[in-house]
Structure 1
Amino acid sequence: MDSLSISELCGLFCCPPCPSRIAAKLAFLPPEPTYAFIPDAEPGPNAAGPTRASSLRPRSGVAVAGSAPSEGKWKLHLTERAEFQYSQRELDTIEVALAQSSRGNKIGCMYIRCAPNSRFTVLFSHGNAVDLGQMSSFYIGLGTRINCNIFSYDYSGYGVSGGKPSEKDLYADIDAAWHTLRTRYGVSPESIILYGQSIGTVPTVDLASRYECAAVVLHSPLTSGMRVAFPDTKKTYCFDAFPNIEKVSKITSPVLIIHGTEDEVIDFSHGLALFERCPKAVEPLWVEGAGHNDIELYSQYLERLRRFIGQEVTLPHA
């Protein structure tokens, strides 16, 4: 998250802006899109390459994934900037769709069948400055290693998703993703694990505070926007954005909190504070020496996730 100038700091105290402006200033960095949705004239994994029809965020594609068979509407085209590391066979496990948010934005969604026999699907809310194209390779690797399917989406203004990012849109975006996973793909709440990383913990905590699910993972979470900008903040102001600290106590599902002790973006104290406020928190994972963007490189990351999913999350009834 970018630092604020002296004048901007003074503005927050002397004339505090609305939460959406704090959110926009502190958090949102949509990257140049690394993928496009192309109309799928020939549904199925053997469909032809890019069509000449108009696309959403058109880019020069280097890899193609088929759309959901039930609609056969879109194909995913990844660009070279997506740095995809998998073959066409892996790409064929990806389905893409558009969801409509309550705020009127079309939201790009991606469903990856990493483990068809898995009982759980992870609804993943990714971090900042990335989109689904950049995350797709990580999703396939993660889902395969923890034996879960992965469903993810892009926030308003990211990737193919319409609109501009704001705090209210974050909440509407994950609602649209949740209902798409529930209705289009038929995944029940007790089979959904909500996973939020960095800014993605904001919509994850909000949704988990309103809906019961199998479990929640908060990866490098923040307590609130003001507490990131001003580390000495001790209370939640009415104009504060992203107030995870006020919502986490309402979560009724088991919660695993993961944080690096040397996080340079969201201080380790945020993870500690949320752990203390969350009655459903299980044994956390504090990764000694890890920063904000390298926790996944430590062996205890996958070990803890596997133990959480395999032993601490209640399995849905068959």
Structure 2
Amino acid sequence: MGTATSSMAAKFAFFPPNPPSYSVSVDKTTGKMRISEVDEREDVDVDVLKLSTKKGNDIVALYVKNPSASLTVLYSHGNAADIGQMYHVFTELSVRLNVNLMGYDYSGYGHSTGKPSEQDTYADIEAAYKCLEETYGVKEEDIILYGQSIGSGPAIEIGTRLPYLRAIILHSPILSGLRVMYPMKKTFWFDIYKNIDKISLVDCPVLVIHGTEDEIVDVSHGKQLWELCKEKYEPLWLRGGNHCNLELYPEYLTHLRKFISAIEKLPRPRNVSKQSTDPLELPANTTDHNKQKPRANTDHREKARASTGQREKYWLSTDSREKSRTSIDKREKLRRSIDRPTKARNSTDNHPERARNSFDRFGDMVRSVGLCNVDCMKQTAAEV
């Protein structure tokens, strides 16, 4: 049954660039691996890695180092892209947001071995996460997961198993694979990336970014996931934004910067008692297993999170952060504001020229690589 599900899902969901946009070579002088076909930045230190997954595949990953960073982003990219196309986005985000950043290719993408499947992407993000912990000494409470489009699936899945995770960013996320094609009220066994059923199990703060004119994944996906979050952060609904161009809007980086800054100011979730078993080691059928049983082993997490004091009071508008810490009532106001199209942060009609100019380099960089992380599910569904 699981094999049939994986095979069916692969027909609808995965479109790795063919051929890959990059190649991997070894520098004869340093012995280090490098990504070819990209213009490397001299001011950025990037490690190229090959990581083994528990599914037996070797995936290619990039680790962008920022010496002044206190937080690390683990980035799961969208469909129809690989880390060669994402290279400049990764390095630019690391510099602009002052974070370390790890990005990785899914099995079957780029020069990662194997074939892509839902379960393989879960194994892929586990391998990347463990590399951060074991190779770079990054702690769980200093990691922010970033899931773009189909990448929201592995990000949310692993997010349900990390009780001390710092935060999650969802960029044009999907409710589930089938819901991209059909507006369904019921989840079927053969569906993939059942984010709609998992997001309420994530305990950390969640930021959702989505374009209002997304022709691939309707903005209703992002809005519903935001409503289901336990710890909501002010979302960013980019008016006129589609599935492929949100990075071009000045508000995109502005909002991310405010989110990262706010997260840094919060008390760190205290991981005082590691579980005796690895939280990432779950049954193979992670899509359908009963989440409540393994989560019972982390009953202490509520007490640990309670120690952060102001966390519940924090998740209000970034523009009134100081006042929000003394008034939790405004949180309800934020929830009600989600559908108000006139809200300043939901509109791109009045960009200050100064702000636009400050992001021109980033926008030009995104345009230059022709980046389009499109989930081609709708087109494929029509052909099958």
TM-score (norm 2): 0.66
For residues 231-278 of structure 1, the C-alpha deviation after alignment (integer angstroms, 9 at most, x for no partner) is: 2x1011111111011111111111001110100110111001111111
Cα deviation for residue 40 of structure 1 reads 4.7
Alignment partner, residue 106 of structure 2: 155
Report the counterpart of residue 19 of structure 1 in structure 2: 5
Query: Residue 20 of structure 2 aligns to which amino acid in structure 1?
Result: P
Match of 1:249 in 2: 200
2:53 partner letter:
S
Preserved contact between residue 34 and residue 78 of structure 1 (Cα < 8 Å)? no
Correspondence 1:99 to 2:56:
no
1:85 CA displacement: 4.9
Q: State the 1:162 CA deviation.
A: 0.5
Corresponding residue number in structure 2 for 1:227: 179
What are the residue-to-residue correspondences of 1:1-318 with 2, within 5 Å? 18-31=4-17, 32-43=19-30, 72=31, 74-79=32-37, 84-87=38-41, 89-90=42-43, 93-113=45-65, 115-211=66-162, 212-231=164-183, 233-313=184-264, 314=266, 316=268
Once the two structures are superposed, residues 99-137 of structure 1 have per-residue CA deviations (whole angstroms, 9 ceiling, x without a partner) of: 110100001111011x21110111000111111111111
Give structure 2 stretches of 5+ with no counterpart: 270-384
- Give SS of 2:197's match: helix
Q: Determine the structure 2 residue equivalent to 1:52.
A: none
Q: How many residues align?
A: 267
Return the alpha-carbon distance in structure 2 between the equivalents of residues 285 and 247 of structure 1.
21
Q: Look up the SS of the partner of 2:214 in the other structure.
A: coil
Q: Deviations over 1:148-205 (max 9, x none)?
A: 1111110000111100000010100000000011101111111111001011111000
SS of 1:35 mapped into structure 2:
coil
Whether the aligned pair in 2 keeps the contact of 1:19 and 1:167 (CA below 8 Å) is no
Q: Within 2, Cα distance between the matches of 1:179 and 1:315? A: 24
Whole-Å separation in 1 of the counterparts to 2:202 and 2:115: 28
- 1:225 partner amino acid: G
- Whichever residue aligns with residue 136 of structure 2, its letter is Y
Higher helix proportion: 2
Runs of 4+ off more than 4 Å: none
In structure 1, the partner of 2:312 is none
Quote how far apart the aligned CAs of 1:26 are.
2.2
Q: Which has the higher contact order (CA 8 A, sep 6+)?
A: 2
Ranges in structure 1 where 5+ consecutive residues have no aligned partner: 1-16, 44-71
Offset of 1:316 from its aligned partner? 4.0
* Cα displacement (A) at 1:299: 1.1
- One-letter identity of the residue aligned with 2:34: L
**1:48 is matched with which residue?**
none
Q: What is the Cα-based RMSD across aligned positions, in Å? A: 2.1
Check conservation: 2:167, 2:206, Cα contact below 8 A. Answer: yes
Provide the C-alpha distance between the structure 2 equivalents of 1:22 and 1:41, rounded to a whole number of angstroms. 43
Structure 2 residue aligned with 1:7 = none
Whole-Å separation in 1 of the counterparts to 2:5 and 2:177: 9
Cα separation, 2, equivalents of 1:165 and 1:207: 17
How far apart, in 2, do the equivalents of 1:132 and 1:96 lie?
10
Q: Is the 8 A contact 1:121 1:149 kept in 2?
A: yes
CA–CA distance in structure 2, aligned partners of residues 310 and 117 of structure 1:
13
Report the AA paired with residue 188 of structure 1.
Answer: K
In the alignment, what sits opposite 1:6?
none
